[in-house]
Amino acid sequence: MNLKELRELIEMVASEATIEEFEFERAGVRVHIRRGVAGVASTPSAVSAALEAMEVERLAGVASPQPEPPVSAVEDRSYEITSPMVGTFYRAPGPDADPFVKVGDFVEKGSVVCIIEAMKLMNEIESESSGEVVSIRVDNGHPVEYGDVLIVLRPR
Amino acid sequence: MFRKVLIANRGEIALRVLFACRELGIRTVAVYSEADRHALHVRFADEAICIGPARSADSYLNIPGVISAAELTNADAIHPGYGFLSENAHFADVCRECGIKFIGPSPESIRTMGDKARARQEMARAGLDILPGTEDPTDDIDEAMGVAGEIGYPVIIKAVAGGGGRGMRVVWSRSEMASSLATARTEAGAAFGDARCYIEKFIDRARHIEFQVLADEFGNAIHLGERECSIQRRHQKLIEEAPSVIMTPELRDRMGSRVVDAVQAFGYSNAGTLEFLVDSSGHFYFMEMNTRIQVEHGVTEVVTGIDLLRDQIRVAAGEKLPHSQSDVDFRGHAIECRVNAEDPFTQRPSPGKITAWHQPGGPGVRVDTAAYAEYVVPPYYDSLIAKVIAHGANRDEAIRRMDRALHTFIVEGIQTSIPLHLEIMGDERFRSGNISTRFLDELRDPGRRQASVR
């Protein structure tokens, strides 16, 4: 499977709104696409194809802005909280306070998980899903842009 | 000089601003919507920040997003380009309050000239002729009828908050006045949130001639000559040229100094353009002022050799105007064609992927574009994909160069207005310089050429 075919495949899946998850295997390359998260698993001999596929996903604008590591095609369902604005990411309500969430915490839909500060205003970011916090992708105090993945949940 | 400039725009003008910044050694920050992830200015900028989804209101018009991006990157200035936030006085205020230099005039100037009725009053005070019309906006039908009667039909009803060709309605006779005014006010209220309309004399067969000005923040101002933009479709410019065929050096000097006096009188700074309608006896009537760099700025750059974007940045950085009026020279003739991604005859937009691209070059041809092979023209923004500017020793040469350039411009995968531009370049009346704002209507319907009918 060449880069062009892979790109077309991804675009086709991405444009089909009813497809939540898609798996395809041929000639030593397995492509596993999930809406919102894209992962590529491959046999050792097709590692370069996998890396190319990551690049293709990035170009096709399907994947989240940060590419997934090639090996761990996320098999479980997961939900990404992405930034709705440009600003600075803070994990806690204040410099000495505890963070809103840590890895392993369970969050309810609608609860505040972090703050994005923009133009001196602290914007509380609420989770749109409930679930367990699997990872926190941005360091405290780091700038984020629109669409950056902030926190990943495993919905329950 | 600024260390870092944030470019609050997209497409070809974002690239143009980027070019000027690079030449001045200034670092650039691009802000982009998700639809513009693969835009050229994003690629070439030193830093890039995604500020929102495709929709303009959530991205390029998102003031908190733009300012936040400027603060995160420590940009010391913002260039707003044209359209979007470039004539948003509130945005200019916010920049000032946040200690970020807005590359353009003051918020006060933007506010004054943005209110069409107030702009007319200011310019009348400065000694420019304005089209006869209502002094102030009116919703009184009797007053409107009275004024129209004095001016003489046809008249045009214009929304105070309109501009760029929007919010206008021609009234050809007394019997239509009442209903036209009512409809115009309703439309203006819905489109701009401001129902105020004023009434102006409508000049049939007018020429649209505008003057480019440049002023520093010390009160120095110059003009850089005129551009004629009579080839318009629904008040949207399609072709611009400099100089205008009706201009003489004396007329240019005379109008030029009046324009410079006017902008100095109200303390204008940075680049701006005063638009006039010129009737068949050569009378200049002020219409409106654009307080920003314009799409067609390249036409002036090419005949004067002056880099307007670079000068905008230098003036904003506190430098004195780098040229005096006597430094400004006009050489040859230039024509610009705005190439849009659209069906050349129905004007239906034609977004999509460009599968083949070769832009023209060679002597006397400049192309301002942010498109490239494999680029996907997004459906969310205006359809301009390239500006082709042809420069020659005289108008004939400019036309021949433009014709050659358009013929050697390859764009496949989408439709463009190139066939329409070629038709215009080949048109006898265009070639003889016999043009007016009705040119395009008459091209489509030759039967309209003789009688002055709707």
Q: Does B56 touch chain A (CB under 8 A)?
A: no
Using one digit for the tens of pLDDT, what is the confidence trace for B118-142? 998 999 999 999 988 876 777 788 8
**Same domain, yes or no: B275 and B381:** yes
Q: Does B447 touch chain A (CB under 8 A)?
A: no
For the domain that residue B274 is a member of, what is the CATH number? 3.30.470.20
Q: How far apart are the first and last CA of chain A?
A: 36
A119–B67 C-beta distance less than 8 A: yes
Q: Does B97 touch chain A (CB under 8 A)?
A: no
Predicted pLDDT of residue A60: 46
Residue B381 lies in a domain: yes
For the domain that residue B21 is a member of, what is the CATH number? 3.40.50.20
pLDDT at A53 exceeding the cut of 70: no
Task: Decide which of B163 and A79 is more confident.
Answer: A79
Mean pLDDT rounded to a whole number for chain B: 94
Using one digit for the tens of pLDDT, what is the confidence trace for B367-379? 999 999 999 999 9
Boundaries of domain holding B324: 207-448
Q: Hey, which residues 18-37 in chain A have their CB within 8 Å of chain B?
A: none
Q: What is the DSSP string of chain A?
A: --HHHHHHHHHHHHH-TT-SEEEEEETTEEEEEETTEEEEEE-GGGHHHHHHHHHHHHHHT-S-SSPPPSS----S--EEEE-SSSEEEESSSSTTSPPS--TT-EE-TT-EEEEEEETTEEEEEEPSS-EEEEEE-S-TT-EE-TT-EEEEEE--
Q: Where are the domains of chain A?
A: 3-60, 79-154
Tell me phi and psi for residue A120, to 5 degrees: 70, 5
**Same domain, yes or no: B217 and B187:** no
Residue B261 lies in a domain: yes
Q: Pick the catalytic residue from B292, B314, B366, B401.
A: B292
Q: How far apart are the first and last CA of chain B?
A: 53
A59–B65 C-beta distance less than 8 A: no
Q: Closest to A61 (Cβ–Cβ): which among B31, B37, B72?
A: B37
Q: Is B292 a catalytic residue?
A: yes
Nearest CA in chain A to B97: A119
Domain count, chain B: 3
Q: Burial-class residue A2 by CB neighbours within 10 Å (0-12, 13-18, 19+).
A: exposed
Residue B115 lies in a domain: no
Using one digit for the tens of pLDDT, what is the confidence trace for B259-276? 999 999 999 999 999 999
Residue B126 lies in a domain: no
CB within 8 A of B384, min separation 6: which ones? B11, B12, B295, B338, B339, B340, B341
Q: Does A65 touch chain B (CB under 8 A)?
A: yes
A86–B49 C-beta distance less than 8 A: yes
Task: Decide which of A69 and B47 is more confident.
Answer: B47
Predicted pLDDT of residue B308: 98
pLDDT at B451 exceeding the cut of 70: no
Predicted pLDDT of residue A36: 57
Which of A58, A89, A145, A150 is best to mutate for the B interface (most B CBs within 10 A)? A145
The answer to ipTM > 0.85 is: no
Residue type, B431: R
Q: Mean pLDDT throughout B175-191?
A: 88
Give CA angle at B311 (B306, B313), nearest 5°: 150
A129-138, B141-150, B225-234, B248-257: segment of lowest average pLDDT: B141-150
Q: Mean pLDDT throughout B286-313?
A: 97
**Same domain, yes or no: B277 and B373:** yes
Judging by DSSP bridges, how do beta strands B47-52 and B27-33 pair with one another? parallel
pLDDT at B450 exceeding the cut of 80: no
What is the band of B97 on the pLDDT scale with cuts at 50, 70, 90?
A: very high
For the domain that residue B160 is a member of, what is the CATH number? 3.30.1490.20
Name the CATH architecture for the domain at A79-154.
Beta Barrel (2.40)
